[in-house]
Structure 1
């Protein structure tokens, strides 16, 4: 139930699916902004409490699942960075970078033993920088058949993957499948085999609106067809595993198989900003750094961000992240306990995201008003993030939410 953007993509080559999607969007998001349900302009924050227009609200909106972004060590690292470097190095990373960038990638190589990490300014930049090179058979240790690639996109993969369809099609055909319909995946794999193309399966790890993808199964399918599995595990990084390697890495048996490319976010549970890709060989990392469009021509991560990222990486090894993980999963379990609804998405799963599915946009709007009036803000979600005509209240649960704040959510939803 992540982004059903794929539902609006026609199989006809010339269909303007962006226009199709836009024409089906209602004014509900604009209404939600005008009503103060989302699009908040905040003037202060303390823990999970925001100040908006002079009023305080408890937020379940952010993706800060461990609460690291306002940890004292992170704040001190940023203060020190400004004194040492100023606000920013206005340069691409290929020209110059702070030592913390090297330290960060080295530490990520310890979180994921044997892997070579390359950090970008966001996860979308990872997709745009890497996937064209992969499809063009440019990465030496990820060979593509002479016939070329077949891009196989899971229907609920993040919009930042889906929107690149036009670029993929310059390299090979594109098809989609449904994770809940094995026949659609089998059909795509049969097409790859029939045409001699290398399948590249594109998926999320944890869906931003709900669902956990069975990446271990997809890895085996890709291997059986001499293909690759590309995983965007933005919402899974740091929340699981002894060193915070995340959902997908754990689901794959605490490894990155040879036919898997794993992308992750530094901007969510990691507590910093940016994205990264894990590659098996330094030779591939060199090519991507030299030729990845968003790496060469995009702006580098802000100095303050890179230094905060490096501090967070160290906190993944000193017990800080492990303690916060315990607090997160205790809060997630408690949320499931107090929010008793058959429409609660992800209930009982190893995901920090919960969603309350509602049968109309109006119902989601009204429920969000009820929460806001009681001093709680969440993310009211409408098409195209959920199916047309439906609504969702999305809750991001954090290690730093208090039990009282979660208890209050249960009472409010019961009375909505």
Structure 2
């Protein structure tokens, strides 16, 4: 039975090329995972595609807490939170209250948090403005709002607050009750920061402007107590801002967090959000690990971990400059992007790196615009300076002998 449209079938075939070449959709071998290396098909690879930036997924405290939680409460309390919640939810909530400004709410995943919050907060007479590079999970959730009549427009010039100002001021916008700007705190493909200072100035100036920011890739590795780039930039939450976080990346466990500027909003999403009502809860082992991670984030050692990661990032960028590797990412974040071209050209570079014993992920269409695709390099505390040396030496050789040479001319 063939049910995909011609356009969807073409997209499937495009992405299937990567899978068929054994560059994506891979399974790890059964060896123990240490974060620095992975083993795929019997081949040992340096792991530059890991989003657990602080390396906490292997921390014994998280593993022990997950084990104890499973032994004490079972793997899952299998009912909607509308009826019952594991006692671990209450403990996690208390720890998040200590480490984050605003009013946090743990969610099953960041994506399902979006699906709860946005359709509830955004009405049919509101306008949504999506940043051109905002994460797919935000775009998907915005479509849920569109289905009930919400208008969607796009900030075509990515991260341009002047254009956002013009869009908000457009004469046609008088008919909308509220305008919601949806963006990322750190953009997941190219690793750049949102212009948070200019955005907050716009929020202060425009009475009907609100913002919802996905800071999944900024959480934990930066900011006081790991609050992230957006919440950590000032230590407080703007009264017209909602921030989504992910516990599945640098935090080292699983699940999501929504942070609201007041208790009233949090309580309404908690009781009325569709995925809060109709989805299973976070599993007990993951809740146990999340509590352990939240406690670590309140210890002085977190700053040491953040500094170690920062040193890795700076060392990588210095080596790229020294070896004339054309980085597109200007910010010192754990996500670094090298623009290459189209999907096929990116696949060729990834294949060559695998042959060198290195695995990096591709930022390819449809996640990126056609012909603006590239290599997405993730940096973690698991890595050592000699790993960076080997990666950058390999990239330098590829630049000098293949497709990437055109980017340096």
Query: TM-score, normalising length from structure 2?
Result: 0.89
- Tell me by how many angstroms 1:23 deviates: 6.5
Counterpart contact for 1:343–1:358, Cα < 8 Å: no
Gap regions ≥5 residues in structure 1: 1-17, 137-146
Match of 1:344 in 2: 327
Deviations 1:303-327 (A, max 9, x none): 1111111110000011232221111
- Tell me by how many angstroms 1:121 deviates: 0.9
Whether 1:335 and 2:323 are equivalent positions in the alignment is: no
CA distance in 2, matches of 1:212, 1:55: 35
- Tell me by how many angstroms 1:182 deviates: 4.7
Q: Name the SS for the 2:120 alignment partner.
A: helix
CA distance in 2, matches of 1:223, 1:119: 28
Whether 1:49 and 2:37 are equivalent positions in the alignment is: yes
- Tell me by how many angstroms 1:188 deviates: 2.1
Deviations 1:262-289 (A, max 9, x none): 1111110011101111123322222111
CA distance in 2, matches of 1:267, 1:250: 19
Gap regions ≥5 residues in structure 2: 399-409
Deviations 1:24-47 (A, max 9, x none): 637443222222222120123123
Deviations 1:204-242 (A, max 9, x none): 000001121112212221332222111100000011123
Q: Name the SS for the 2:338 alignment partner.
A: strand
Counterpart contact for 2:161–2:195, Cα < 8 Å: no
Match of 2:177 in 1: 197
Bigger Cα displacement from structure 2, 236-245 vs 177-186: 177-186
Q: How does 1:194-233 map to 2 (within 5 A)?
A: 194-210=174-190, 211-226=192-207, 227-233=209-215
CA distance in 1, matches of 2:98, 2:217: 20
Count of aligned pairs between the two proteins: 386
* Equivalent of 2:24 in 33, 38, 41: 38
Change (3 A) 1:277 1:181: closer
Counterpart contact for 1:90–1:299, Cα < 8 Å: yes
Change (3 A) 1:257 1:320: same
Match of 2:104 in 1: 117
Whether 1:186 and 2:168 are equivalent positions in the alignment is: no
- Tell me by how many angstroms 1:164 deviates: 3.0
- Tell me by how many angstroms 1:364 deviates: 1.4
Bigger Cα displacement from structure 2, 240-249 vs 96-105: 96-105
- Tell me by how many angstroms 1:20 deviates: 9.2
* Equivalent of 2:385 in 403, 406, 416: 403
Match of 1:361 in 2: 343
Counterpart contact for 1:219–1:229, Cα < 8 Å: no
Q: Name the SS for the 2:226 alignment partner.
A: coil
- Tell me by how many angstroms 1:350 deviates: 3.0
Deviations 1:99-155 (A, max 9, x none): 221122222222223x2211111111111101111113xxxxxxxxxx931111111
Match of 2:404 in 1: none
Query: TM-score, normalising length from structure 1?
Result: 0.87
* Equivalent of 2:359 in 377, 384, 388: 377
Q: Name the SS for the 2:268 alignment partner.
A: helix
Change (3 A) 1:110 1:311: same
CA distance in 2, matches of 1:196, 1:362: 43
Q: How does 1:72-83 map to 2 (within 5 A)?
A: 72-83=60-71
- Tell me by how many angstroms 1:181 deviates: 4.4
Counterpart contact for 1:148–1:172, Cα < 8 Å: yes
Q: How does 1:263-282 map to 2 (within 5 A)?
A: 263-282=244-263
Match of 1:143 in 2: none
Change (3 A) 1:287 1:209: same
* Equivalent of 2:145 in 168, 183, 194: 168
Bigger Cα displacement from structure 2, 29-38 vs 330-339: 29-38
Match of 1:261 in 2: 242
CA distance in 1, matches of 2:276, 2:154: 28
- Tell me by how many angstroms 1:384 deviates: 0.8
Deviations 1:351-392 (A, max 9, x none): 110111102333211211111011111102321111213431
Counterpart contact for 1:49–1:59, Cα < 8 Å: yes
Match of 2:407 in 1: none
